[in-house]
């Protein structure tokens, strides 16, 4: 179950807004056992792909690792085995590829809009108690989870109800304080840490209000913690039109520190998204990455992530060729 900042609930982030919605009168229990989620389950059991599920179907048909692969490890139970919570847009950064949906600073300063109303409260935390004992993993996503009181309250509740439950936190790595250390000490925390550039100036341009030196200091704390307790730390990177030349460098950097690596897909804004670039641009990206790949054979086990990114870039390039052949109105 994936919950977004507006209370919308779906089986994954790609289908959020299309399935159901949590409210003070419609509980987590009502949604999970309700008709909309049941319909999705029946379709997938019968290999019927509809609406946003067709995105993963297309990736699978083209040999690209689909979003759905992230869920293959989880068992099919009476209760959900995975919950992903995106409960608030409270965040201390204003990243250029983000939006006011996931950054309170962007909503205030870039969008000039009033604060986003909080969709969840104490009732939601209480309802989670029914589900926490049955989960294989709980994922806490943006804005910045370590800046959100409700996330920290949920972690305290999990420490009480199911302290061994794997909790994966997607963090920008900028916050390290007493409350965060308390969560680390009392929960089974795993870290997905977003770093989009290893160059100080470029990092500051991408992650507005962020400081790479501060993030690297906190990275060492998280890495030591994860190594000590045999927990995962994965560096999450957003390949974009302004940082794509660094992607091979992340393979080397994560290999040296013995941490995981994952490349996200940025679809918006379009000027930053690789999939939306011209054929000439994508050809340059593909050629550069392919050359970089030839120099990285020793840098396993994260190398296959880079291979998948290169394959994805190739497919985007091929898509532009098909669009051009179909006519000028079809160009991506």
pLDDT in tens, 275-285: 999 999 999 99
Decide the pairing of beta strands 166-171 and 137-140: parallel
Token code pair at residue 138: 């709980």
CA-based radius of gyration for the chain: 20
CA quadruple 159, 161, 166, 168: dihedral positive or negative?
negative
Lowest mean pLDDT among 22-26, 70-74, 291-295: 70-74
Q: What element of type H or E holds 287? A: helix 279-294
pLDDT at position 16 is 67
According to DSSP, the residues that pair with 188 across neighbouring strands are 166
Count CB neighbours of 61 within 10 A. 10
- Beta-sheet strands, E only, within 4-140: 8-10, 20-21, 82-85, 137-140
pLDDT at position 73 is 85
- Domains of the chain, residue spans: 1-72, 75-189+196-234, 238-332
Does 51 have pLDDT greater than 90?
no
Count CB neighbours of 325 within 10 A. 8
pLDDT at position 328 is 45
Of the candidates 13, 273, 309, 275, which has an alpha carbon nearest to the alpha carbon of residue 139? Answer: 13
Q: Where are the alpha helices (DSSP H) in 46-147?
A: 53-61, 104-109, 122-128
Residue percentage of the chain with pLDDT more than 70 = 96
Give residue 158's Cα distance to chain centre. 21
Beta strands across the sheet bearing 166-171: 20-21, 8-10, 2-3, 82-85, 137-140, 166-171, 188-194, 233-237, 260-263
Lowest mean pLDDT among 18-22, 104-108, 294-298: 18-22
pLDDT at position 329 is 43
CA quadruple 51, 57, 59, 65: dihedral positive or negative?
positive
Could you tell me the pLDDT band of residue 50, with boundaries at 50, 70 and 90? confident
Q: What element of type H or E holds 319? A: helix 303-326
Cα 15 from Cα 196, distance rounded (Å): 25
**Residues 73/78/79/83 CA torsion (nearest 10 deg):** 30
Lowest mean pLDDT among 59-73, 134-148, 186-200: 59-73
pLDDT at position 156 is 97
Question: Token pair 């949590």 is at which residue?
Answer: 22
pTM beyond cutoff 0.85: yes
Of the candidates 164, 182, 160, 1, which has an alpha carbon nearest to the alpha carbon of residue 87? Answer: 1
pLDDT at position 332 is 31
- Beta-sheet strands, E only, within 44-187: 82-85, 137-140, 166-171
Does 327 have pLDDT greater than 70?
no
Q: How many CA atoms lie within 13 A of 322 on its CB side?
A: 6
pLDDT at position 323 is 53
Q: What is the CATH number of domain 75-189+196-234?
A: 3.20.20.70
3-state secondary structure (DSSP) of residue 236: strand
Mean pLDDT for 62-74 is: 79
Cα 93 from Cα 106, distance rounded (Å): 8
pLDDT at position 114 is 96
Could you tell me the pLDDT band of residue 53, with boundaries at 50, 70 and 90? confident
Average pLDDT in the chain: 92
Decide the pairing of beta strands 137-140 and 8-10: unpaired
pLDDT at position 319 is 85
């Amino acid at each position: 179950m994936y919950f977004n900042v507006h209370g919308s609930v779906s089986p994954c982030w790609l289908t959020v807004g299309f399935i159901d919605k949590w409210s003070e009168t419609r509980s987590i229990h009502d949604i999970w056992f309700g008709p909309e989620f049941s319909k999705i389950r029946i379709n997938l059991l019968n290999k019927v792909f509809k609406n946003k599920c067709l995105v993963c179907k297309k990736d699978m048909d083209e040999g690209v690792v689909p979003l759905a692969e992230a869920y293959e490890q989880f068992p099919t139970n009476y209760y959900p085995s995975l919950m992903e919570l995106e409960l608030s847009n409270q965040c201390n950064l204003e990243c250029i590829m983000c939006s006011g949906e996931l950054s309170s600073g962007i909503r205030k300063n870039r969008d000039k809009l009033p604060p986003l109303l909080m969709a969840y409260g104490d009732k939601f935390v209480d309802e989670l108690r029914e589900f926490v004992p049955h989960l294989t993993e709980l994922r806490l996503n943006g804005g910045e989870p370590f800046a959100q009181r409700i996330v920290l309250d949920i972690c305290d509740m999990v420490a009480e109800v199911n302290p061994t439950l794997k909790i994966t936190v997607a963090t920008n790595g900028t916050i390290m304080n007493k409350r965060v250390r308390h969560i680390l000490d009392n929960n089974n925390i795993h870290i997905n840490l977003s770093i989009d550039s290893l160059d100080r100036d470029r990092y500051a341009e991408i992650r507005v209000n962020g400081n790479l030196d501060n993030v690297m200091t906190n990275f060492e704390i998280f890495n030591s913690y994860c190594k000590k307790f045999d927990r995962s730390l994965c560096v999450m990177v957003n390949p974009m039109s302004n940082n794509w030349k660094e992607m091979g460098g992340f393979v080397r950097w994560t290999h040296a520190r013995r941490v995981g690596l994952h490349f996200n897909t940025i679809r918006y804004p379009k000027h930053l998204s690789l999939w939306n670039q011209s054929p000439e641009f994508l050809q340059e990206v593909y050629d550069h990455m392919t050359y970089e790949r030839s120099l990285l054979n020793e840098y396993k086990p994260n190398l296959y992530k880079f291979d998948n990114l290169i394959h994805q870039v190739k497919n985007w390039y091929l898509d532009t060729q098909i669009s051009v052949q179909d006519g000028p109105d079809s160009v991506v």
